Structure 1
Amino acid sequence: MVQEYQSPVRVYKHPFELIMAAYVRRFPKCPLIPVFVDSEIVSENQSKDGSTLVTERRCVIDIDAPRLLKRIAGVDYLYFIQKNTLNRRDRTLRIEVHNETFSSRVVVRECCNYTVHPENEDWTCFEQTASMDIKSFFGFESTAEKIAMKQYASSIKKGKEIIEYYLRELEAEGVTFIPRWTPPVVSGTTRAIPVKGARNGLDSKDTELVVGSPDGQTEMYKLDADYIRRYLGDLTPLQESCLIRLRQWLQENNKGKIPKDQHVLRFLRARDFNLDKAREFMWQSLTWRKQHQVDFLLDTWERPQLLQDYYAGGWHHHDKDGRPLYVLRLGQMDTKGGTEAHVTSYVNVSVSCWTCLVDLEGLNMRHLWRPGVKALLRIIEVVEANYPETLGRLLILRAPRVFPVLWTLVSPLIDENTRKKFLVYAGNDYQGPGGLVDYIDKEILPDFLGGDCMCDIPEGGMVPKSLYRTAEELESEENRLLTDSIYKSASIFKGAPYEMLVEITEASSVITWDFDVSKGDVIFNIYHSKRAPQPPKKDTLGAHAITSLGAVNTQLIDRNWVLGKDYSMVEKALTCREGESVQGSHVTRWPGFYILQWRFHSTPACSASSLPRVDDVLASLQVSSHKCKIMYYTEVLASHDFRGSMTSLESSHSGFSQLSAATTSSSQSHASSTISR
């Protein structure tokens, strides 16, 4: 693979002639560049009038590489050929370099140009491009490439320092001005050749340099190294190169408005400065912006009445770092209607570096897999794809027990760099040390979070059913959910519980669940055993001809096991009524085997430790009223999955979150899960 490099424009606030006097002092060898051992002039040719000087040198480089690699390669030094073309009339120097050593295995090309600044003729610009293609190198191609790129990046950083060093040396010798070249006077003529003088009173703009074409049309914008450092931050030479090359590609291929440099840089950061990935990423975003007319959205988009009345989000002052603070009371929102309006609203707000505070109090099933999660995933998708690296920090407060389920659904879709910006607090943990006051000043803390600052953000509420989608749309989505989603369905018979085995290999793993009771009432339990349950043998069931009646739930808890000895209950039994949705999580204290059990709810309730006789099961199958149905989803999350963004997920006691409107608050009172930063 060919590695390429393009430098920004480096500006020396000195005339071209003085820069050339400093440059030639680098030869035949430069003590400031230890790897530059020596050089010799191979040839030198000058034009008749003295305006052009072409010098060819053979340079010796002592590459900083492991001794073993040098022995394998059979060389101690590398030889490069450098051709310099100095045009005194045009005040330019072009430097072309290629490798002589290993030229059949490695192809290195470098081109540097010193030119006069387009806006101030007393200043000098420097640009540099290079490429390297390692075709073969004794099986060490990757190692050689890394060494070469490291060495090259180091020499680039020293380039400006070296010129400035020799400029100071010249100044110490009293050389501060060198006259410009003028053609020799031809005998018998007295005509003077005019030389343009420098424009006075110009200061460095620290912005892009505009290079004009001969017909006066703007041809290309070039980035100044000082501008990058002042307005875009400290970038490595290779990062600067990626920025410039991506910007050049946009100028050549994008017919519309070129994004700002800060915006281009965000796409590079989001792809770890992988130029090919960033180019593809940005092109997709530009296409999306054109399709949706995003650049004109602020002028044409009107906030729907639905958002004005029921959308619980808005701007609220700034965080301690000066970023605009966006507050979203997600737990107070009804997301069944107006999902596209939510997305459009985010397109309007997610355009700069900001901090987002999400309050999850009241979060329940209506925010999860169904329309709410669809809207949330769409928002994340749009923001990640088109506004990368704009989120400074995401503060999630009052996370309920259902949060691990939500996090499981959305976290794989969030870029890892973005995920690291998430800080999650459960309950009232945000009020103590290391909490919200570390990021937001106390005097602007919203009143609904215990602060004194009145927050004008609407409280949200239930959207009228008249604004919901049609029954046909909802039915279609439910059918798709059953066939395409990660949810499974199960039947529970009277006397024949439905059980699911979860093997845990390390403590502190998190078992999450989400289920709907679509028919009947059930009792939900979780048990733990150190040994693996052994399901009944097939021949035992076959003797009673159960298979002819259809599938029967496999029971995992052996009839000979004793509760409290062979296995233990790790969650308090929960009664779940028909039509209710239940979500929750359990942080495992021990490795081993966990059994999630749903059993038919009747009076008296069936004992978990005493299994029914097969004859009883056969009888129950004939009675349709002795049947319950659930739709469920479970997942095991390793503890380290939370530590990248939330550090830890601890629980002193686990409970359940029964998320119907009537039971949300009571079920949350059971939760003591702690999600800390």
Structure 2
Amino acid sequence: MSGQVGDLSPKQAYALTQFRVRIQDILPDLPAQHDQYLLRWLRARSFHVAKAEAMIRKHIDFRRNMKVDTIISDWTPPEVIRRYVSGGMCGYDKEGSPIWYDVIGPLDPKGLLMSATKQDFMRTKIRNIEMLQRECRHQSNKLGRNVESVTLIYDCEGLGLKHLWKPAIETYGEILTMFEENYPEGLKRVFLIKAPRLFPMAYNLIKHFLCEETRRKLIVLGGNWQEVLRKHVDAEQLPVAYGGTRTDPDGDPRCRTMINYGGTVPRSYYVQNFIKAQYDTSVTISRGAVLQLDYHVSAPCSLLRWQFSSDGADIGFGVYKRTEEGSEQKVAAMLEVVPSERYNAHLVPEDNMITCAEPGMSTVSFSPRGSATRWRCFLLHCEHIRPDRTRLTPT
């Protein structure tokens, strides 16, 4: 049995019933509640109900932390990402699924990662996925049948050593992991076209981020790639540049109004080119160690602001609230306020803040990760600012 609606074994049907009962409390927080949507999570965990429940509950936390429900309307990617990250949605396959194009050649990984934070790239990808999911729902309503996945055409022409830069591979791996954990069954198939000789090396670097089911959906096409694409996509839905008849209104065969082709990022976008500041503190942190800085928030609606960079590698950072005043408490026992993530602060200094709704003790935590043995973390600012704008030093 396929595990799809209408093709369930008795065991699969029972698992679906149990799954719905066990997640009854979070159903209103999900983007959809119908069986087709819930079955995606069960298939991703081979109909193991407890594992599927753990996966979808983690997804609810992800949606809340990343503000996924409003990311399309309330957040816009930085200009450098909008202009220089290639790709876009263009047309539908013969079954009505949206088609997304990733165009690797024009990408400038180093320029992009020197100009925007890893978190901005992650939010951009989430925003794109949510837009595609919304398009799938639109197609489902329009066609009267369930459309839940996307066809991806991955144009590998121009893939080179610059794309195998370690920070770029790490960032891409984190994005793939995020996709696998939060959008199961989101891909119908992936066509890889114009793959150069370097492709096997590139694939070996990222394949461990992909589950076995996703790997099976990868289709590497040879010299007849245009013919194969036309078997799955009607010519009028396929750009002329990819073997179809579709053009932009002005006749552009590459459909640039829908597919961005990126390019080399001008150095004027590089964030470090503008940072001319003396850091307040330089701290060396050993691998496996954690640096905690405590701030006593004495007034509600105060701001907690941080600015930092790291030397040589990215670094983990999170913000927590102590649940026990006046005692030593490890981060794991605190209330998570800003989830710990890896920041490419060795390329782009981090600058952000939160509003502390209630008084209490807040803790910022730095945690090195990776193969290096020691990190230097430069603290430009890490401060608590009261509503009257008075700055307080850490306790």
Q: Does 1:465 align with 2:267?
A: yes
Aligned pairs for 1:103-182 (under 5 A) are none
- The SS at the match of 1:399 is coil
User: 2:61: which partner in 1?
Assistant: 287
Q: How far 1:256 sits from its partner (Å)?
A: 3.9
Change (3 A) 1:252 1:342: closer
User: 2:14: which partner in 1?
Assistant: 241
Pick from 258, 264, 271: which aligns with 2:38?
264
User: 1:346: which partner in 2?
Assistant: 125
Letter in 2 for 1:477: A
Deviations 1:411-453 (A, max 9, x none): 1110111111111125x34135xx2222122333323334432
Q: How far 1:255 sits from its partner (Å)?
A: 7.7
Pick the structure with greater CA Rg. Answer: 1
- Cα distance in 1 for residues equivalent to 2:192 and 2:233: 13
Give the structure-1-normalised TM-score.
0.34
Q: How far 1:251 sits from its partner (Å)?
A: 1.2
Q: Does 1:278 align with 2:52?
A: yes
Q: Does 1:366 align with 2:159?
A: no
- Cα distance in 2 for residues equivalent to 1:258 and 1:307: 27
- Cα distance in 2 for residues equivalent to 1:295 and 1:470: 32
Alpha carbons 1:325, 1:356 under 8 Å: kept: yes
When structure 1 is superposed on structure 2, of 234-243 and 461-470 the one drifting more is: 461-470
Q: Please, what is the CA RMSD of the aligned residues?
A: 2.8
Q: Does 1:317 align with 2:91?
A: yes
Any stretches of 5+ residues in structure 2 without a counterpart? 134-147, 248-254, 276-308, 315-395
Alpha carbons 1:335, 1:366 under 8 Å: kept: yes
User: 2:231: which partner in 1?
Assistant: 438
- Cα distance in 2 for residues equivalent to 1:449 and 1:474: 43
Change (3 A) 1:258 1:399: closer
- Cα distance in 1 for residues equivalent to 2:265 and 2:11: 52
Pick from 453, 460, 463: which aligns with 2:246?
453
Letter in 1 for 2:120: A
User: 2:75: which partner in 1?
Assistant: 301
User: 2:357: which partner in 1?
Assistant: none
User: 1:423: which partner in 2?
Assistant: 219
- The SS at the match of 1:272 is coil
Change (3 A) 1:327 1:474: farther
Alpha carbons 1:357, 1:397 under 8 Å: kept: yes
- Cα distance in 1 for residues equivalent to 2:310 and 2:26: 43
Alpha carbons 1:444, 1:453 under 8 Å: kept: yes
Letter in 1 for 2:225: Y
Q: How far 1:389 sits from its partner (Å)?
A: 0.5
User: 1:163: which partner in 2?
Assistant: none
Letter in 2 for 1:462: T
Change (3 A) 1:474 1:287: closer
- Cα distance in 2 for residues equivalent to 1:375 and 1:450: 32
User: 2:373: which partner in 1?
Assistant: none
Deviations 1:302-334 (A, max 9, x none): 233223211221111101221111111122211
- Cα distance in 1 for residues equivalent to 2:310 and 2:224: 38
**Higher RCO structure (Cα 8 Å, ≥6 apart):** 2
- Cα distance in 2 for residues equivalent to 1:458 and 1:254: 36
- Cα distance in 1 for residues equivalent to 2:30 and 2:233: 36
Q: How far 1:346 sits from its partner (Å)?
A: 2.1
- Cα distance in 2 for residues equivalent to 1:474 and 1:238: 52
Deviations 1:552-593 (A, max 9, x none): xxxxxxxxxxxxxxxxxxxxxxxxxxxxxxxxxxxxxxxxxx
- Cα distance in 2 for residues equivalent to 1:416 and 1:340: 27
Change (3 A) 1:324 1:413: same
- Cα distance in 1 for residues equivalent to 2:310 and 2:261: 26
User: 1:17: which partner in 2?
Assistant: none
Any stretches of 5+ residues in structure 1 without a counterpart? 1-228, 479-677
Q: Does 1:379 align with 2:175?
A: yes
User: 1:476: which partner in 2?
Assistant: 312
Deviations 1:601-653 (A, max 9, x none): xxxxxxxxxxxxxxxxxxxxxxxxxxxxxxxxxxxxxxxxxxxxxxxxxxxxx
Pick from 76, 101, 104: which aligns with 1:330?
104
Letter in 2 for 1:289: R
User: 1:494: which partner in 2?
Assistant: none
Letter in 2 for 1:466: S
User: 2:336: which partner in 1?
Assistant: none
Deviations 1:377-402 (A, max 9, x none): 12211111100001111111111111
Greater percentage in helix? 2
Give the structure-2-normalised TM-score.
0.57
- Cα distance in 2 for residues equivalent to 1:332 and 1:347: 22
- Cα distance in 1 for residues equivalent to 2:53 and 2:32: 13
Change (3 A) 1:371 1:406: same
Letter in 1 for 2:215: R
Letter in 2 for 1:445: L
- Cα distance in 1 for residues equivalent to 2:107 and 2:87: 9
- Cα distance in 1 for residues equivalent to 2:210 and 2:51: 17
Q: Does 1:356 align with 2:139?
A: no
Deviations 1:81-113 (A, max 9, x none): xxxxxxxxxxxxxxxxxxxxxxxxxxxxxxxxx
- The SS at the match of 1:327 is strand
Alpha carbons 2:235, 2:243 under 8 Å: kept: no
Alpha carbons 2:91, 2:238 under 8 Å: kept: no
- The SS at the match of 2:221 is strand
When structure 1 is superposed on structure 2, of 415-424 and 453-462 the one drifting more is: 453-462
- Cα distance in 2 for residues equivalent to 1:253 and 1:422: 33
- Cα distance in 1 for residues equivalent to 2:25 and 2:237: 47
Aligned pairs for 1:465-504 (under 5 A) are 465-468=267-270, 470=272, 476-477=312-313
Aligned pairs for 1:59-98 (under 5 A) are none
Alpha carbons 1:250, 1:258 under 8 Å: kept: no
- Cα distance in 2 for residues equivalent to 1:406 and 1:296: 34
Letter in 2 for 1:470: Q
